[in-house]
A and B are shown apart, each in its own frame.
Chain A
Amino acid sequence: MRRYIWIIFILVVGCAPWTQVGGLYKNESYNFSVELPKGWMRWNKGEQLFITRDGVSLQYIQIGRMKIEDPLKHTKKKFSKGMLPQEAAEVYLDNLATNSNILNLEVIENIPATIKGIPGFKAVYSYKNKDGLKLKSIHYGFIVGDWLYSINYHAAQRYYFEKDIKTFEKIVESFNFIKTV
């Protein structure tokens, strides 16, 4: 009996952060709302929201924000207020390029983008992880006040990436601020 209690405990604890999603998601503290697709799983980590359908190693969408003065993990460069979208994209991509876990980084597209009327950037890139898996990502970034908001789609390049681009773009379109910025 005790063994079964342990198994149930491990299963429950192991799955605890992931919850099923679908519909409007509001995060008052981080001042944004998005329409999430049905049948995906959600996990909140700090100021980041992750959703996935097939597992994070195959695909995930990440929405969140970070303080612009916070240090980045791999480059010493920082985001700053008044930075142009192209400069913000430069910092974001340089942080990736300096990450030793990212191999064969290829920037496919880096263009201006507007999210809810706020000028930002859209970067599309591919890379290989240390296990040789080729991944592809679309990243929208924009600076609002002291925050850099990011909406990121990340998936295995083969098969999975194409599959959820539309879902991702719908999420980007649905992004909104709860309070006016």
Chain B
Amino acid sequence: MRDIGLVLLFCLVFAGCPTTSLPPLTQDFRLEEDETRLWLRFEETEKWIQKSGLIYHDEGLEIYLNDIAQKLQPPATLKNISFRIKILKYHLPNAFSFPTGLILIDTGALSRLENEAQLATILGHEMIHTTHRHALKKFRDSKNKSAFLATVTYGTGGLGSIIGALGALTTVMSYSRELETEADTEGFKLMAGAGYDPEEAPKFYLYMRKEYEEEKIKEEHFFGTHPRFQERAENYENLLKTKYKDKQGGVQNSEVFMEKIHRVILDNASLDLKAGRFKIAERGVEKYLTIKPNDPKAYCFLGEIYRQKAEKEDLEKAKEHYQKAISIDPSYPDAHKGIGFIYFKQGEKEQAKKCLKQYLSLSPQAMDKAYIEEYLKQCNGGEKP
């Protein structure tokens, strides 16, 4: 009798399972009921993100990114999906899209790109997640799986397992290999169709895979998604060898792109430095210096990286970079502080005093004024400076 009940429950569950086979959004689409709820949820999340302090503000760059997205947008969706690109202050490279058309790209991703064609690859991929309703597919798939679990735990009082399974599914929030591959293939079509160089598509992912291996970084993010660089690179390489083997050349727009993102590169290097990823932060500053070779801030920043790393010859290298910053702009305060700080630690009190005094005269309201005054006091043998 219990077996019949189990079979009936199975049938009921699967008959009631919503389909995950959904057509892409077109101009005449109407949201399904659960899709409307999902959109509302994402709209709430969007509001939360706006207030979270995570958004990186650069109006000019946002306009530029949105213009590229418009070039890529499939015409069939123009009326219904309003794509908007926002930048997130986060050092690890990732991008993700909401079903509502919001695309978030991290400073960590932007700062590692070399040109517009690579950016178009990422944006195209994310736009397909939206137009092809991947969030709804994932949502329904997760729901069906939890319904299935409810069936198999029938009679065992396994409520805990259902909650556990659903919790695990919702926290993962990454799409299946199948959906990611669809986003790669269709996104690639958008990118190549807009005239961008297809050869650029796998480059960012290959670079990231190498960086993650070197740094032994676990792929993690605020929203639990992870980009699976290896898989992305392989998909694009396969497309280049097959479907697009005859398509050569195209737009890269490296110079325009670098000019637009130069500030992001330096700001992201600062986030990498906070995370203690010294090598990556240094790479970021060096990339920035190829765009803005005479910026004292960048040299001072290199000094900071070496000072904080403080291995073997690092303090001497730090001094050199601070000196370089001063040679470009003698009134740049932080470089004087950096050198003064090193002299102070090395016990060279007179030189430390000179540099730290210079720092305070250039930056009288510095936030670390109390520390500097303390160092100066110690340089004077405990007497007030």
Q: Which residues of A contact B (CB under 8 A)?
A: 74-78, 80, 84-87, 90, 94, 97-98, 100, 103-105, 107, 110-112, 128, 132
Contacts and interface: CB of A to CB of B under 8 A. Distances in A.
Given A74-B275, A84-B345, A94-B274, A103 B371 contact: no
Contact of A111 (B52, B273, B371): B371
Given A103-B52, A103-B53, A128-B53, A76 B371 contact: no
A128 B52 contact: yes
Interface of B: 48, 51-54, 90-91, 221-222, 271, 273-277, 308, 310, 341, 344-345, 367-368, 370-371, 374
A94 B275 contact: yes
B53 A76 contact: no
B275 A75 contact: yes
B214 to A, nearest CB: 13
A74 B220 CA distance: 12
Given A76-B276, A94-B276, A98-B274, A103 B54 contact: yes
A86 B273 CA distance: 16
B52 A104 contact: yes
Contacts, number: 50
Contact of B275 (A90, A98, A103, A107): A98
B370 A97 contact: no
**Majority DSSP secondary structure for residues of A touching B:** mixed
Across the A-B interface, give the 4 residue pairs with the lowest CB-CB distance, nearest first.
Answer: A76-B276, A104-B53, A77-B276, A94-B274
B347 to A, nearest CB: 12
B53 A111 contact: no
B34 to A, nearest CB: 25
Nearest to B373: A112
A111 B370 contact: yes
B385 to A, nearest CB: 14
A86 B368 contact: yes
10 contacts: A85-B371, A94-B273, A94-B274, A94-B276, A98-B274, A103-B54, A104-B52, A107-B367, A110-B368, A112-B370
Given A76-B275, A86-B368, 15 more contacts: A74-B275, A75-B275, A78-B276, A86-B371, A87-B308, A94-B276, A100-B221, A107-B367, A110-B368, A111-B371, A112-B371, A128-B52, A128-B53, A132-B48, A132-B51
B370 A75 contact: no
A108 B277 CA distance: 25
